[in-house]
């Protein structure tokens, strides 16, 4: 009896298994397989042929991949595919870390990342706290603060490119008011270009953080507030010493979300500066794309993207470990 | 009697709040200033797009247009150039529609069935795959993009519409599956059990019970996917070609093109046009959008 039931084990719940096939394929082939492929090939000196020379006229404002504008070029070299698969060990990584473009990318990511984390958490929390004061028109305010999040990074980047345009934008307005020597041209100044991108990034993303924080605040027991009012504790103290510690999980989750989003920063840079002036606003995601698809230096691109993966894992694994008590260790 | 006593006691209830207390002025003042700051870019975008080029050069970006002209809009829609093509954003718009509609349908159909299987029809190993999937949501796309190019090339789908749809379906799967799994798990189990006792199978329960009962979550998923796919740039650049570029890619190529004189009013009109679809969805959907992004924040 038991033996006749055995073969059925595989076919039990068959519809569910069939229905889950897309998920299984995605998980195994794409998320697992592709990642492993990338890591393995980052140790080779893969290149793509035929090497096509791209006229990079003006670094500051190359439109995205002109590669394709020269009709069908992409298909040709894509079909030719990879040549040279010989393993070179860590050579790609050594080269990566001695490339100034990559170093600049990492520095930019660090500046953008830290500032964006701090500012969006602080601004997001303060706005959420203000909205949580049982005010009128809460929905209106929330809609206004959140709408940029519905826009793409490309749209965001282009709007801010226009606003920060020194000839027409904010700088000109202030100069017209009489401050002749006022300069505010972040997108054209290599030293501060990343802050220009930060302004746009914050405008787009703070609304989301505010919403998550607001949800967190609404989850706080009303009695906490009553108790602190009875004890005569000022409101700001209650926030800092009682409410914020209670909202730790919300903060941690938000932090992970922002952080893993920051590593992916790409569209915004493309739209606002295309990495310029010079290489001043390069970011890792753009470095990967340029190595892979423009410079045809696949090995470099793969090594750089593996570094991105390491960065994300450094954020996500400790979080997942804390959050799920090590349940996900097997991944 | 007791009413009279109460009245003698003096004022009852909480102290009436002054409408213009310092606290209120501070709260509303801050919120209004911040709101204005948030609205400013949208205002500048629209105002600039309604001005003629001479006016853009002369005036300042915040001043409303003296003479309203819709020419930049017409030009952005029908005549703006990218490379050799000069048929404006309209092509990108229709490409985006052709990409978004099937991608949304495919990804939601697959993810909802997945979520349903994970919530109600657990099988051995299901959780492992699900965990990989959720972890996958955090992996930067750049890590998986090149192998994806190879896979699609081998399937003959590279730079084809089908390929792009497949990519959107695959990368939309983690968050959507999570969304549906959590929703279906929160539905009363008795419902499912009763249907099982009555002899309904996997698909029958899905179509007759689960689907009709979970319309709100489908709306949330649709909002999430439409805005997400419409706003996508990275996949559009990599997995399509100039004729099939989505709107965002084409917009960027129009605005950041180095050739010719920069027409800022046309650029802004094009930017507004690209932003309109997600904005309309946002303002119509209201609270559901918030719910969607709260779940979709993972997508980053």
Ranges of each domain in chain B: 14-69, 89-299
* Minimum Cα–Cα distance from B149: chain A residue: A78
A301 vs A66: which has the higher pLDDT: A301
CA distance B49 to chain A (A): 11
Q: Would the CB atoms of A27 and B129 count as touching at under 8 Å? A: yes
> Residue B299 has what pLDDT?
40
Mutate which of B138, B168, B245 to disrupt the A interface (most A C-beta within 10 Å)?
B138
Mutate which of A63, A167, A290 to disrupt the B interface (most B C-beta within 10 Å)?
A63
How many Cβ atoms from other residues are within 10 Å of residue B146's Cβ?
A: 23
* Minimum Cα–Cα distance from A16: chain B residue: B117
| CA separation for the pair A256, A315 (Å, rounded) | 7
CB of A234 less than 8 A from some CB of B: no
Ranges of each domain in chain A: 2-83, 96-330
| CA separation for the pair B227, B88 (Å, rounded) | 22
Model confidence pLDDT, tens digit, residues A175-221: 888 887 888 888 888 888 999 999 999 999 999 899 889 888 888 88
CB of B123 less than 8 A from some CB of A: yes
CB of A117 less than 8 A from some CB of B: no
Specify the 3-state DSSP secondary structure of A271. Answer: helix
Q: Do A158 and B252 meet the contact criterion of CB atoms below 8 Å apart?
A: yes
Q: Would the CB atoms of A260 and B300 count as touching at under 8 Å? A: yes
Task: Flag whether the pTM goes above 0.90.
Answer: no
Q: Would the CB atoms of B258 and A57 count as touching at under 8 Å? A: yes
Interface of B with A in 35-54 (CB under 8 A): 35, 38-42, 44-45, 48
* Minimum Cα–Cα distance from B293: chain A residue: A208
Q: What is the mean pLDDT of residues A85-108?
A: 86
Interface of A with B in 119-158 (CB under 8 A): 127, 130-131, 133, 135, 139, 141-155, 158
> Residue A69 has what pLDDT?
38
CATH architecture group of domain A96-330: Orthogonal Bundle (1.10)
CA distance B121 to chain A (A): 6
State the ipTM, two decimals. Answer: 0.87
Q: What is the mean pLDDT of residues B14-26?
A: 74
1.20.1250.20, 2.30.29.30, 3.40.50.920, 1.10.3720.10: CATH of B89-299: 1.10.3720.10
> Residue A58 has what pLDDT?
30
Q: Do A305 and B142 meet the contact criterion of CB atoms below 8 Å apart?
A: yes
Q: What is the mean pLDDT of residues B40-47?
A: 92
Model confidence pLDDT, tens digit, residues B184-213: 988 888 888 899 899 888 899 999 988 998
Cβ neighbours of residue A302 under 8 Å, at least 6 residues apart?
A: A38, A39, A41, A42, A46, A92, A292, B146
Looking at residue A313, the DSSP 8-state letter turns out to be H
> Residue A77 has what pLDDT?
40
Q: Would the CB atoms of A130 and B123 count as touching at under 8 Å? A: no
Q: Would the CB atoms of B271 and A159 count as touching at under 8 Å? A: yes
Looking at residue A249, the DSSP 8-state letter turns out to be H
Model confidence pLDDT, tens digit, residues B131-182: 888 888 888 999 998 888 888 888 888 878 889 999 999 999 988 998 898 8
* Minimum Cα–Cα distance from A327: chain B residue: B131
């Amino acid at each position: 009896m038991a033996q006749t039931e055995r073969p059925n084990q595989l076919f039990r719940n068959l519809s569910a298994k069939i229905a889950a096939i897309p998920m299984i394929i995605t998980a195994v082939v794409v998320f697992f397989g592709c990642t492993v492929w990338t890591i393995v090939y980052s140790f080779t000196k893969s290149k793509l042929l035929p090497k096509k020379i791209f006229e990079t006229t003006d670094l500051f404002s190359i439109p995205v991949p002109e590669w394709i504008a020269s009709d069908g070029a992409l298909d040709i070299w894509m079909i030719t595919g990879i040549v040279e698969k010989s393993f070179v060990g860590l050579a790609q990584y050594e080269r990566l870390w001695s490339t100034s473009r990559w170093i600049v990318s990492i520095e930019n990511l660090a500046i953008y990342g830290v500032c964006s984390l701090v500012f969006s958490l602080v601004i997001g929390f303060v706005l959420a706290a203000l909205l949580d004061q049982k005010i009128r028109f809460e929905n209106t305010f929330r809609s206004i603060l959140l709408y940029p999040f519905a826009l793409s990074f490309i749209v965001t980047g282009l709007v801010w490119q226009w606003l920060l345009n020194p000839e027409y934008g904010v700088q000109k307005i202030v100069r017209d008011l009489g401050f002749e020597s006022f300069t505010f041209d972040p997108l054209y100044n290599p030293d501060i270009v990343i802050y220009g991108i930060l302004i746009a990034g914050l405008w787009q993303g703070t609304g989301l953080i505010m919403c998550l924080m607001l949800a967190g605040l609404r989850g706080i027991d009303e009695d906490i507030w009553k108790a602190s009012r009875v004890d005569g504790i000022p409101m700001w103290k209650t926030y800092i010493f009682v409410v914020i510690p209670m909202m730790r999980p919300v903060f941690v989750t938000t932090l992970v979300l922002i952080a893993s989003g920051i590593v992916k920063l790409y569209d915004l840079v493309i739209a606002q500066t295309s990495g310029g002036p010079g290489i001043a606003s390069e970011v890792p995601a753009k470095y990967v794309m340029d190595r892979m698809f423009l410079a045809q230096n696949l090995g470099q691109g793969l090594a750089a993207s593996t570094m991105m993966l390491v960065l994300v894992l450094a954020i996500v694994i400790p979080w997942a470990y804390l959050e799920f008590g090590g349940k996900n260790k097997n991944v | 009697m007791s009413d009279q006593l109460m009245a003698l006691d003096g004022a009852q209830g909480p102290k009436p709040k002054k409408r213009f207390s310092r606290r209120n002025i501070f709260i509303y003042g801050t919120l209004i200033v911040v709101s204005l700051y948030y609205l400013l870019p949208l205002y500048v975008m629209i105002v600039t797009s309604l001005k003629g080029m001479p006016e853009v050069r002369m005036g300042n970006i915040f001043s409303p247009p003296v003479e309203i002209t819709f020419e930049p809009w017409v030009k952005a829609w029908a005549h703006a150039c990218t490379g050799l093509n000069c048929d404006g954003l309209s092509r990108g718009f229709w490409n985006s529609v052709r990409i978004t509609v099937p991608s949304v349908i495919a990804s939601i159909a697959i993810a909802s069935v997945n979520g349903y299987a994970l919530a109600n029809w657990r099988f051995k190993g299901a959780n492992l795959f699900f965990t990989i999937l959720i972890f996958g949501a955090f992996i930067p796309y750049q890590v998986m993009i090149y192998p994806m190019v190879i896979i699609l090339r081998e399937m003959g789908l590279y730079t084809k519409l089908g390929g792009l749809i497949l990519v959107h379906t695959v990368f939309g799967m983690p968050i959507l599956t999570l969304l549906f799994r959590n929703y279906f798990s929160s539905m009363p189990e008795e419902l499912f059990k009763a249907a099982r006792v009555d002899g309904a199978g996997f698909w029958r329960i899905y179509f007759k019970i689960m689907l009709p009962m979970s319309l709100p979550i489908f709306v949330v998923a649709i909002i999430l996917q439409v805005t997400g796919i419409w706003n996508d740039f990275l996949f559009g650049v990599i997995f399509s070609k100039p004729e099939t570029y989505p709107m965002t890619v084409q917009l960027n190529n129009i605005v950041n093109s180095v050739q010719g004189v920069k027409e800022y009013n046309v650029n802004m009109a094009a930017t507004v046009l690209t932003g309109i679809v997600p904005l309309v969805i946002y303002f119509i959907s209201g609270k559901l959008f918030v719910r969607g992004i709260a779940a979709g924040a993972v997508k980053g």
